[in-house]
Amino acid sequence: MIKLAVTGAAGRMGRRIITLAKESGAFEIVAALEWDQCPQLGQDAGLVAGIGALGVNITVEPEVKPDVIIDFSLPASTMGWVKYCRDNKIALVVGTTGLDESQKSQLKQAGADIPVLLGANMSLGVNLLCKLVQDVASRLDEDYDIEIVEFHHRFKRDAPSGTALELGRHAAMGRDYKWPDCCQHGREGKEALREPKTIGMHAVRAGDIVGEHSVYFSALGETIEIRHNAHTRDTFVRGAIKAAKWLNGRQPGFYDMFSVLGL
């Protein structure tokens, strides 16, 4: 079995990763990781996740070397795990959102020494959607305006979402627009007409919405909408688990979910 470590083990995503990784039968969970002020430090990770004792306590660093770490945390924490994995030759799957270009560059550099996989969104459906958006954008001319609207829960820190930005990037690739210069974030004012060769980007934060993304291609007379709704966070967890299986044993390199799906 693949020896797995999970960061943010006491959080919502961490608990579900532990639960579904255990259910898959493909992983031995050897480390459940949290920050040094986490109230659940020292507690059994399985009990915290609600699946019964695993015999693995929540700690700050792994006590057993894992084959793969799955990281859904905050950007600063992710950078710490990048260094840890690089120093210890451990494969790393990153689902953290809100990474800036410098941090993404550090992940790419780590790929020289270890296998690293970064997913702006771990959903298999969303990654297929990105490919579809690029294809549609390349086939429809500039009579079709492109607008992206994303919805998430009120607690989400970054806006727009990493997924929305990834959809925008693929739309720009299809149109041969310069990204992110072509991205227009929202509109306001009395003179806020749509500018040509731009991709509109709009973020909604409300309630407990898991994640909804819509891409509109709209001309005078018709609109095409391509939409993805995440019903549960398990969608992202299952994608991350699939990515960890795929990444285990790979040669050093920088990968994404397209690599996992063969797109």
Catalytic residue annotation: 152, 156
- How many Å apart are CA 233 and CA 111, to the nearest integer? 27
> CB–CB of 238/20 below 8 Å?
yes
Specify the DSSP element, H or E, that contains 1.
none
Return the closest-CA partner of residue 77 out of 55, 57, 92: 92
Distance CA 167, CA 161 (A): 10
Q: Most distant CA pair in the chain: distance in Å?
A: 62
Q: Where are the alpha helices (DSSP H) in 56-176?
A: 75-88, 101-110, 124-139, 162-175
Q: How far is CA 106 from CA 81, 121, 210, 244, 259, in A?
A: 11, 19, 29, 20, 19
CA distance 252 to 249: 9
Count CB neighbours of 204 within 10 A: 14
Separation of alpha carbons 211 and 200, rounded Å: 18
Q: Which residues of 221-236 are buried (b: 16+ CB within 10 A; e: fewer)?
A: eeeeeeebebeebbbb
3-state SS string over 153-192?
CCCCCCCCCHHHHHHHHHHHHHHCCCCCCCEEECCCCCCC
